[in-house]
Structure 1
Amino acid sequence: MSTPVIIALGSNDKGPWLDIGALLNAAVHDLESAGLGDVRRSRWWRSAAWPDPTDPPFLNGVVQGAWDGTAAELMTTLSGIEARFGRERSVKNAPRTLDLDLIDFGGQVQDSPDLTLPHPRAAERLFVMGPLAELDPDWRHPVLDRTATDLAASAGVGRDATVMPVAG
């Protein structure tokens, strides 16, 4: 039985890719190749790095999909994809080639040393809630019982986040 999931993607270091948009598109492809089904993706949103706005700006987005395994298996898959994209965990909030965050796993609520669901800070971030509101404006946060649209309107982090124009 597939579980509906929401995953946030972000990068502010293009690594060997042509640009960060190409890197994020490749990451979505890897998510699909790893077994994420029925994938829908938001547009990419640009915002200043947080908490240090002197770092390169971020591109962020959200995918919704369906996963046939457990949340722990999905987290292992996300970590593996991050590693393949050159993610290094040196300093907290340092520039990174790829950040994949599990935002929601079928509405489950969990707080353990290995996994917190829903993602504990997603509701505060416009660069997560804005893209999610594009895909599913009526998605409800399993703890706060507020919609993605409402959370995007009140998000305090990443208030400068804006939708990237689509190249013609």
Structure 2
Amino acid sequence: MKYGIALGSNLGDRLENLRQAVVALLQSVPGSRVIATSAVYETDPVDCPPGSPGFLNAVIELEAELQPLDLLQHTRAIEAALGRPNEHEHHAPRTVDLDLLYADAAVVDHPDLTLPHPRMTQRRFVLQPLADIRADLRLPGEDRSVQEILDTLPISDEPPPRVYSLDWLDLGSP
């Protein structure tokens, strides 16, 4: 199954946190592989407490032979291992945030997980990196492609320039 996973970090060595999260995914999910990685964008925090530091955001597409709820458990364990408390204030600053965006054409409506991610189409910091790798993707229940949705977001929400190129994820050395 192919998964879109949004990665974010606004504490510590943000780029290293993103890299470590992907390495941990590959190490903890047998047979998984990264198919595509977006550029990394530096963005202002959205709906976070005042004074929160800026985020680095990216999206990867991961191929894995797990069901969505099983992959969710892996992402939560990785967040905890990289310093994000299990109990945390909503939108609090964090070392790493891993959000499942989609799982192929699956629709999931579970108390712990909704796929496609219910707010992703409203968030440029998710759609811009997703468009880097899957601009033509049409999510279940959506008539427009990721790029078409992105093009409808207000101009005032334009992201700052990319801060790292597509080669930010060096998997050669964990």
* TM bin (shorter chain): 0.7 to 0.9
RMSD: 1.9
TM-score (norm 2): 0.85
Q: In 2 relative to 1, CA 68–133 (structure 1 residues): closer, same or farther, beyond 3 Å? A: same
* Aligned equivalent of 1:126, options 100, 124, 127: 124
8 Å contact 1:47–1:160 — kept in the other structure? no
Q: Which ranges of structure 1 fall in alignment gaps of 5 or more residues?
A: none
The alpha-carbon distance between structure 1 residues 60 and 21, as it changes in their structure 2 partners (threshold 3 A), is same
Where does residue 107 of structure 1 map in the other structure? 105
Say whether residues 1:71 and 2:54 are aligned partners: no
Query: Is residue 2:33 matched to residue 1:45?
Result: no
Is 1:29 matched up with 2:29?
no
Quick one: percent identity of the two aligned structures?
Answer: 34
CA contact 2:41–2:163 (8 Å) conserved in 1: no
Runs of 4+ in 1 over 3 A off after TM superposition: 155-158
What secondary structure does 1:92 align onto? coil
In structure 2, stretches of 5+ residues that fail to align are 166-174
Report the number of matched residues: 161
**2:131 is paired with a residue of what secondary structure?**
helix
Superposed displacement of residue 38, structure 1: 3.6
- Superposed CA deviations along residues 17-67 of structure 1, whole A, max 9, x for unmatched, are xx2112111111112222331432111111111114631011110000211
Alignment of 1:95 with 2:93, yes or no, is yes
For residues 161 and 115 of structure 2, the distance between their equivalents in structure 1, rounded to whole angstroms, comes to 26
Matched, 1:62 2:59: yes
Q: 1:141: how far off?
A: 1.7
